[in-house]
Amino acid sequence: MATPASNTPTSTVSISAGGRSVGRLLLQSGTVVALILLIVFFFAMRPDVFLTFTNVRNILYQVSILAIIAGAQTVVMVVGDFDLSVGATSALAGAVTGALLIGGVPIPMAIIVGLIVGLLIGVANGLLIAYLRLSAFVATLATMTSVIGLAYLVTEGTTLFNFPAEFNNLGQGRFLEIPLPVYFAIVISVVLWLVLRFTTAGRRWYATGGNAEVSRLSGVNVKRARFIAFSVAGLVSAIGGILLAARLGSASAVQGEDNMMFSVAAVFLGMTVVRSGVANLGGTMVGVAIIGVMSNGLNILGVNAYVQQVLTGLIIIAAVTLSSLKTRER
C-alpha cells in the first residue's frame, strides 16, 4: 500500500484512460493535479481568453491579497491553531489607515499605525490563546466580532475613499506591466516561507503544531511560540488589508470578508499537497491559485458569483476528503 505521494507515472496513464479514473487520479496525485486540470478545463473552454497575458495577470492581481492573508493563516495553522479574525483584522487595518489618510496624516505614518493595529490584534489573540488558554476558535471568533465592530466605528458605517494618489498607487500601480500587489504578495510569501523553513521560530512552530507536549518537554517555549505566531498573523493580515484599501481606493468594515474563509480553505488545500498533511506555505499558494483560477475561470464563463461561492465550498470538501483518504491509505 504505497503512500500516494508520487504523482507522475500513474497520472499520465490514467489521463488517457479518462472518465472513471479521474477520481483515482486526483486521489493519487493530489491537489496540484486538480489545479492543472482546472487550468486545462478553462483553457479548453475559452482558449481565446483564459491563458492570455492579460488574464493571467488578472488572476495574479486578484489573488495577491488573498495570498498574503492566507500566508498569515498558514503560520497560525502550522502551530496547530487557526485564526478566524484575519479578515476582520485586515479590514480594520485598512480602515484605520484610510481614516488617518483622509485626516491628513502622512502616508508612511498612516500605514505604520495600520500595521500596529493589526499587530495588536494578533498580540491580543496570542495572549488569549497561549497564556489564558482560550481555545483558538472562541478567542478569534470573539476578537473577530469586536474588530469588525471597531472597523464600523472607524468608518462610521460608511465606505471611506479619496485617499492620496500615492497611496492608491501601492495597490493599483504597475512595475514591468505587473501590478505592485503581486510583488508584495511574492515578497511576503518568500519571507514567510524562509521563516517557516529556516528559522528557529519556524521550526518551533512546526514542532508545537506536531505535538505541543513533546515540544514542551524538549525545551520549546510552547506558549511563546503560539503567541508569536498569532502576532505575526495579525501583522501580516494588516499588510493585506492596507494593500486592499489601496487597491480599491476605499475602505469599509466588510472589506475582504471572504478572505477569512478563503484563507482557511487555501491552507487546507495546501495541507493535502504534502504527505505529512501539515500546513505549508508552498501548498497554501497552490490552494490560493486554485481559488483564484476557479473564480476567474467561472467569471469568464459567465457563472454567477453565488454559484462560485457554492463551488468553492465543494472544492474544500473535496480536498479535505482527498487528504483524509490519503491518510487512511497509509
Partner 1 sequence: MTAGVPLLEAHDIVKRFEGQYALRGARLELRAGEVHALLGENGAGKSTLIKVLTGIYEADSGEIRRDGQPVVFDNVREANRAGVVALYQELSTIPSLTVAENILLGAQMPRRGGFVQWRELRARAREILAGINQRIPLGMLAGDLSPVQQTMVAFARALALDASVLILDEPTASLTDTEIEELFKVVRTLRDRGVGILYVSHRLEEVFELCDRLTVMRNGETIVTKDVADSHIDEVISLMVGRDAGEMYPDRGDGGGDVVLSVHALEGRRVQGVDLEVRAGEVLGIGGLAGSGRSELLRLIAGAQKRRGGEVLVGGEALRPGVGAVLDAGVALVPEERRSQGVIVGASILDNIAVPNLSSASRFGWVNTTAIAEIARRGMADLKIKARSPRQHVGELSGGNQQKVVLAKMLARRPRVLLMDEPTRGIDVGTKAEIYRLIRRLASEGTAVIAVSSELPELIGMSDRIVIMHEGRVSGEVDAAHADDELLLSYCYGKSE
Residues that bind partner 1 (CB under 8 A): 1-2, 198-201, 203-204, 206-207, 210-211, 213-221, 276-278
Beta carbon of residue 9, minimum distance to partner 1 (angstroms, whole number): 15
Distance CA 218, CA 317 (A): 36
User: Phi/psi of residue 278, each to 5°?
Assistant: -105, 160
Compare residues 74 and 168 and give the one whose CB is closer to partner 1: 74
Beta carbon of residue 280, minimum distance to partner 1 (angstroms, whole number): 13
Asked whether 260 and 244 are in contact (CB, 8 A), the reply is no
Compare residues 17 and 214 and give the one whose CB is closer to partner 1: 214
Compare residues 168 and 215 and give the one whose CB is closer to partner 1: 215
Compare residues 42 and 82 and give the one whose CB is closer to partner 1: 82
Distance CA 292, CA 63 (A): 6
Return the H-helix or E-strand segment holding 175: strand 174-175
Asked whether 168 and 249 are in contact (CB, 8 A), the reply is yes
Compare residues 50 and 205 and give the one whose CB is closer to partner 1: 205
Beta carbon of residue 285, minimum distance to partner 1 (angstroms, whole number): 22
SS3 250: strand
Beta carbon of residue 199, minimum distance to partner 1 (angstroms, whole number): 5
Beta carbon of residue 233, minimum distance to partner 1 (angstroms, whole number): 18
Compare residues 177 and 213 and give the one whose CB is closer to partner 1: 213
Asked whether 139 and 125 are in contact (CB, 8 A), the reply is yes
Dihedral of CA atoms 153, 154, 155, 161 in degrees, nearest 10, equals 180
Beta carbon of residue 236, minimum distance to partner 1 (angstroms, whole number): 18
Compare residues 215 and 250 and give the one whose CB is closer to partner 1: 215
Please name the residue that has the C-alpha cell 496525485. 29
Beta carbon of residue 89, minimum distance to partner 1 (angstroms, whole number): 25
Closest CA to 228 of 133, 141, 127: 127
How deeply is 39 buried, as exposed, middle or buried, from its count of CB atoms within 10 A (0-12, 13-18, 19+)? middle
Residues paired with 160 in a beta bridge: 251
